[in-house]
Structure 1
Amino acid sequence: MVSVQAQLTAKGGDVDKRLGLLASWTEAFVGDLFEESHGVRTREESYATLAFTDGSNIIVNPNTTAIIRKSRIDKLDKSADAEITLVEGGLLSKLSAAGKERSKYVLNAGNSSTELNTQNFLAENNGGTDVKLSNYDGEAMVSANNVIVTIRKDEGTIIRGNDAPLPPVKLLPAPEFLSSKLDTIIYQNDFLLIFEGVENAVRYRVEYSSSYDFDESVTIREINNPRLLINNLALGTTFLRIQSIDELELKGPFTETLRVIRNEDTKAPPIFGDQFRKSIYFVRSNSVEISGVTEPDAVVTINAKPVKVSNSGTFTDNISMQSIDEIVIVTSTDGSQNTSRKELRVVQLTEDYVFNVKLGGVDIKDEISASNTEKTITGRAFPEMEVELKNGETVKTVKTDSQGRWGVTMNVQQGKLSITFKANQTGIETLTKSYTVK
């Protein structure tokens, strides 16, 4: 056996190294080599990965101090003999297949010593006397106070002070995602993670990272309920996994890795609805119901007032009109702050307004004098309307212009003259008024 060095292959945040038990802590950099008696220390929200010659890795969790007690290799079969002491914090051992089969890895934590024959093992010591050990593969032999306990796959144990290890405890299973798909594409800034809760879980640990191996830009969140809103998710791919935590604070196995892909969205959410197909929407009362469809996750406002959007994207709200001719503004904004806008002109049809009719430039009263010569009848209503005039067997039809103006020329005979206004819109009643012609 000859001494070999472990290498710092990845880091995030502030990571320190100590080149000997009596040396001072200095900043560590990716590529640094660690020999026997060297130490590594992470800070809050930082992490490090140490790689050994047989392909095995030790992931150093945040707020952790660890010391390499032994790091040697057999030149003949390339097997490693390594011993690491966890002073405080957490270490995740990821042995390679060769490391599990041929090498000897010993992890010391508190009063315990564990020989690893597993590719996935977590040791935690939060600075006190208690040590929590969780095994997710193979088996590990835990020794403390002259008692040896073997913990197999998805089992854990606790060593309290100088006591012997507790009998193996079955770890809680991993939570399940609500969707069977492990790929999710989003276009908004935030991502709502929802999963099935696990019976007897007191908390859940959520990790997400830009790296599939969770060795870069790792964020850790512990939550009490099976849902988490992740704000301002970075563009690109984020990898996410979850663990259940039991009442002993032992962490169960991780879920499968969920991949969340956030694409940049520059397209505003559409607004659909029959009311928006025309430039004017006619009503008879002084209120109007505005309804439409947009994206389910969009935020909708009508005249700057937020309106609830259903899971199918529909929205409805009643607007009280302050005048007979108003502009209603509808906006829809998605999570990327793309906004679409619709303006709808809403007009209340009233007899007082539309029946302001003139004959030869003079306001028409209830009675009109008959004439054998053609007279011009004019008025002003609203655009997109049709005006029909009937006098005996004479029928004249005209459309209003863009200003709502209209006019016809006709002989007015004795009897009745009826004027009818029709809106270019289904479901709206017509307005009709009759005049006596003498």
Structure 2
Amino acid sequence: MALVLGVLMYPVSPTSAQSSDLDAPLEVVVFGERDTLRGVVSEHLNDPDLWPYVLELNAIASPAAVVPGTELQMPVKQVRAADAALAKALKAIQAANAEGAQVFAPVEIGQALENREAAVGQREVGAWVEVVDLSDIATLLAMEALDISIAQRDRAAEAVVSDVQGDVEGRAPEEPRWSGRGLNDVLVEFERVRTLSDSTTQVTFRDLSRLRLNANSNATIQRMRSDPLTGTEVTKVSLVNGDFYALLNQLSEKTAFEVDVPGVETTTNSGDFWIKNDATGARFVNYDTPALQVSDGNETIQINENEGLVLTSSGAQRAEVLDAPALEQPALGAILYDGFAPLGWSAFEGAEGYWVEVAVDPGFNQMQVSEWGVRGTTLDTAPLPPRTYHWRVAALDRLGLPGQWSVPQSFTLRVDETPPFLTLLAPGDGEIVTQPAIEIFGASEPDAEVQLNGAPVPLGADGSFIVETTLTPGPNILTLRAVDAAGNESATAQTVVYRPAAQVDVSLSPTLPRLGNALATRSGELSVFAASTAAEGADVLVQSGGTEVLRAVVGPAGAISFSVPASETPQGYTLAVLGPSGLIEGRLDFEVIQDRTPPETTLDSPPPKATDLDEIELIGDAGDAAQLTINGADVPLDQGRFAVSLSLVQGLNLFDLVATDTVGNVNATRLQTLYDIDPPDVQSVEVGRPKGANGPIEIVVQASDPSGLRQAASFLLQVGAQEREGFLRCDSAAGLCRAALPPEAGALELIEVVIEDYAGNAAFR
């Protein structure tokens, strides 16, 4: 009801800056290779627990669907506006409380708190506009509470009931009987307050001093006075029976607080003490440095820090109170999910029992549990609403005096019905592997317990994990299970097929033609022959690039034969022998190429056109030829090289050089050379001056030879008393050698002329 009233009383609208952020388009974030869903949400929305909202916003059914490259829409500016509004509301509430709003404006500050808590709840479901609206309402209510508190502090005010747990009653001076007291009820002078069984209440005074009455206690507020001129506050409380715990405001020296127990008066500067009164007597404990003074009319006793006093009819007994026990469970800051808080602490020597308190605030102003005289060192609380709680324990000695409070610790009760994030990133579903072990890679929430096929999986700080598992031949189901601290469970499963490495030996026939490492053929199809150790009738699968090409069966004695397409580009194939279960028991990879290019034959040097030697040598390279013949005779090849000596016969010698590769491509080359051992045939020699006695001298020789005449023929000529030498220029085709000399007088005599052929034979005339 307070929430609805708050909305009706304070219709607000976001500021222009907030409206701009709330109306802003969602920002797109690309999920990276090393990202986790919680990490990305935490980075951009400052809260990793918003990941279910992000999935719902992006219409993604499962965290496993978020893979690298996924685009996620994020309300970055909306979250920023909502968080800013929440922070502003909290600051306003704190400012009002600092001015005493819980006392002077309890309704307004209560509504402010309720609206802000509602805003926090709306944040968890991504209702950003509602978060801002409710936060703004909380801010306005807190500001109103602040104004009221400041105004109230300018005049007198009474004490208020600031906490009620169980049944609490009061009786004002004008009331004829006891009546119930509720939260924020005002208490006046001479009003009596009492708690019934299993009940506690807290009374807060104007100066923020507090008294907590425990179960079955009865006290009277005897005096509450305020001097507006001096600011002096005087408060006096009488404890009829029961016990209470006091925390007084020591910030002002103008504050005086007195506590009376029947027959005993106390005065104190202490701000932290406990008093109990029952039929056995009165008990006092002072926890503060300033002393607590107790007087029975005859004697005044000073109770120092961490000291207790018991007053009975037998007299007074002092005691040092027990030290604080150590809290053990739940751990500091623990989060619990079942609504119960099993509390445990260390046993304390000398303790007869324990006093346990659980409150919703660190100041223990709003008590949820107050158990006195607990035996043992554990306490199971009744179910509590989800929120953060604070608890502490004091040991009780044999005199019934409570010792020092332990250092408070907090725990949180939370309702969590969301299954934990869980994804399996590798291997892929249905993946086929040939090794007996495989690495499993995935991620979950960092605090979740993850199991793989029942075995625990260790998680990294970010929730990621890599774990190796062994496989059995055939399909293997990998089942992942994640359980969070609240007991919520997520599960996913994938299948991995383990096909062991080859167990059957397979080899190609050595007679198959090859080009380099590839099997070769001249046609567009190659017949493949292989041998194996497989049983006759076993299935054979031939694939290319993962695509099935054909199926065959193993023949007698493990023989395998089939034909596959061939092209001028090498094409890879896989031959797999399958076992009865369909698993690969043997495999062989090979390449096939279509080869229509004949081998290329090259000679280191060509044979001579003519020679007078009876033998020549041919040296060269036959390329990828598998066979080389000369005039039908095989020529040995050594890595494609050859060297052969050939005998010659008189006259022209012809040689047919034929190279053949493994697939039958042929390259034929004809070579020739002339074997000539006869000198040129000289038919005539003429020397004269055909143009007259004063004309040039000419020498003409007519000759022939099968190998041809060399272009130059030397001569020696005598002209008169002088000798002249030089060269005739020969035309082999015409069979003539000529030379012309300048005119010169004298008788002509050809002493010598030498005509040579290309075989090196010479004729002398």
Alignment of 1:369 with 2:559, yes or no, is: yes
Give the Cα–Cα distance (whole angstroms) in 2 for the partners of residues 30 and 187 of structure 1.
28
What amino acid is aligned across from residue 540 of structure 2 in structure 1?
K
1:50 aligns with 2:232: no
Letter in 1 for 2:539: V
Q: Which residue of 1 aligns with 2:314?
A: 163
Give, in whole Å, the separation in 2 of the partners of 1:136 and 1:58.
15
- The within-5 A match list for 1:311-330 is 324-330=474-480
CA distance in 1, matches of 2:297, 2:179: 35
The answer to whether residue 358 in structure 2 is matched with residue 218 in structure 1 is: no
Instruction: Say if 2:192 is the partner of 1:39.
Output: yes
2:276 maps to a residue whose letter is E
Change (3 A) 1:31 1:316: same
Q: Are 1:67 and 2:219 an aligned pair?
A: yes
**Does the CA-based 8 Å contact 1:82-1:105 persist in structure 2?**
yes
Counterpart CA distance in 1 for 2:487 and 2:279 is 48
- Secondary structure of 1:332's counterpart equals strand
CA contact (8 A) 2:191 2:220 kept: yes
Q: Is the 8 A contact 1:80 1:104 kept in 2?
A: yes
Could you say which residue in structure 1 is the equivalent of 2:359? 209
1:87 to 241, 252, 261: 241
1:390 aligns with 2:544: no
Give the distance between the partners of 1:155 and 1:377, measured in 2 at CA: 93
8 Å contact from structure 2 (residues 500, 585) kept in 1:
no
Q: Note closer, same or farther for the CA distance 1:328–1:4 as it changes in structure 2 (3 Å cut).
A: closer
Q: Which residue of 1 aligns with 2:713?
A: none
Task: Tell me by how many angstroms 1:91 deviates.
Answer: 0.7
Residue 407 of structure 1 corresponds to none
Offset at residue 170 of structure 1 (A): 1.9
Name 1:358's counterpart in structure 2. Answer: 540
CA change 1:296–1:369 in 2 (3 A) is closer
| 2:225 partner letter | I
How far residue 213 of structure 1 moved from its aligned partner, in angstroms, is: 2.7
How many Å apart are 1:309 and its aligned residue? 7.2
- Count the aligned residue pairs: 377
Task: Name which of structure 1's ranges 366-375 and 221-230 shifts more when overlaid on structure 2.
Answer: 221-230
Report the counterpart of residue 136 of structure 1 in structure 2.
Answer: 287
Deviation track 1:237-267 (CA, whole Å, cap 9, x = no partner) reads 4333343434444222334444556788788
CA shift in 2, pair 1:370/1:293, >3 Å:
closer
State the AA in 1 paired with 2:178.
W
Partner of 2:250: 97
Q: Which residue of 2 aligns with 1:418?
A: none
Q: Secondary structure at the match of 1:48?
A: strand
Q: In the aligned structure 2, how far is the partner of 1:243 from the partner of 1:18?
A: 32
Task: Give the 3 Å change call, closer, same or farther, for CA 220–30 of structure 1 in structure 2.
Answer: closer
Once the two structures are TM-superposed, the CA of residue 216 in structure 1 deviates from its matched residue by 1.8
Q: Deviations over 1:317-375 (max 9, x none)?
A: 99998x94342322112124554433242545469999963377554367333547449
Partner of 2:266: 114
The equivalent position to 1:25 in structure 2, one of 178, 200, 204, is 178
Quick one: which amino acid aligns to residue 40 of structure 1?
V
Where do 1:391-410 residues align within 5 Å?
A: 394=590
Aligned pair in 2 of structure 1 residues 187, 386: CA closer, same or farther (>3 Å)? farther
| CA distance in 2 between partners of 1:330 and 1:353 (Å) | 32
Cα distance between partner residues in 2 of 1:158 and 1:365: 107
The answer to whether the Cα contact below 8 Å between 2:577 and 2:587 also exists between their aligned partners in 1 is: no
Q: Distance in 2 between matches of 1:153 and 1:5?
A: 30
Contact 1:100/1:118 (8 A) holds in 2: no
Structure 1: how far apart are the matches of 2:180 and 2:503? 82
1:427 aligns with none
SS in structure 2 at match of 1:103: strand
The aligned runs of 1:332-343 (5 Å cut-off) are 332-343=482-493
* Alignment check: 8 A CA contact 1:357 1:363 kept: yes
The reply on whether 1:8 has 2:161 as its aligned counterpart is: yes
Once residues 493 and 383 of structure 2 are traced to their aligned partners in structure 1, the CA distance between those partners, rounded to angstroms, is 31
| Change beyond 3 A, Cα 1:68–1:232 | closer
- Partner AA of 2:301 in structure 1: V
Q: Is the 8 A contact 1:144 1:164 kept in 2?
A: no
Identity of aligned residues (%): 20
Distance (whole Å) between structure 2 residues aligned to residue 317 and residue 23 of structure 1: 80
Question: How has the CA–CA distance of structure 1 residues 100 and 64 changed in structure 2, closer, same or farther, with 3 Å as cutoff?
Answer: farther
1:81 Cα deviation from its structure 2 partner: 4.8
Specify every segment of 5 or more residues in structure 2 that has no aligned partner in the other structure, as ranges: 1-155, 505-533, 542-549, 566-573, 593-765
Distance 1:271 1:154, change over 3 A: same
Equivalence for 2:394: 243
Contact 2:167/2:196, CA 8 A, preserved across alignment = yes
- SS at 2:365's partner residue? coil
1:269 CA displacement: 4.8
In 2, distance between residues paired with 1:145 and 1:291?
80
* AA partner of residue 333 (structure 1): V
How far off its partner does 1:71 sit? 1.1
TM value normalised by structure 1: 0.63
Rg comparison, structure with higher value: 2
Give distance in 2, aligned partners of 1:388 and 1:273. 31
The farther-off stretch of 10-19 and 292-301 is 292-301
Specify which structure has the higher proportion of strand: 1
- Determine if contact 1:92/1:123 at 8 Å carries over to the other structure: yes
Q: Using a 3 Å threshold, how does the CA distance of structure 1 residues 208 and 81 change in structure 2: closer, same or farther?
A: closer
Partner amino acid for 2:237? E
**Partner amino acid for 2:200?**
Y
Q: What is the TM-score of this pair, normalised by structure 2?
A: 0.40
- Kindly provide the CA deviation profile for residues 124-159 of structure 1, in whole angstroms up to 9, marking residues without a partner as x: 35x552543221112112345955432111111223
Contact 1:134 1:155 survives alignment (8 Å): yes
Paired letter, 1:166 = Q
CA distance in 2 between counterparts of 1:73 and 1:10 reads 23
CA distance in 1: counterparts of 2:291 and 2:458, whole angstroms: 52
After superposition, give the CA deviation of every residue in 1:137-195 in whole Å (9 maximum; x if it has no partner). Answer: 121123459554321111112234x232212x22223345789xx98475866778777
- Of the two structures, which has the highest relative contact order with CA contacts closer than 8 Å and spacing of 6 or more? 1
Partners in 2 of 1:277 and 1:231 — Cα distance? 47
Q: Which amino acid aligns with 1:64?
A: N
CA-CA distance at 1:5 after TM superposition: 5.2
Whether the 8 Å CA contact 1:358–1:377 is kept in 2: the answer is yes
SS at match of 1:123: strand
Partner in structure 2 of residue 420 of structure 1: none
- In 2, are the aligned partners of 1:47 and 1:60 still within 8 Å (CA)? yes
Pairing 1:123–2:262 present: no
1:174 — aligned with what?
A: 324
Offset at 1:272? Answer: 8.3
Contact 1:5 1:71 in 2 (8 A): no
* Shift in Å, 1:108: 1.1
CA contact (8 A) 1:283 1:346 kept: no
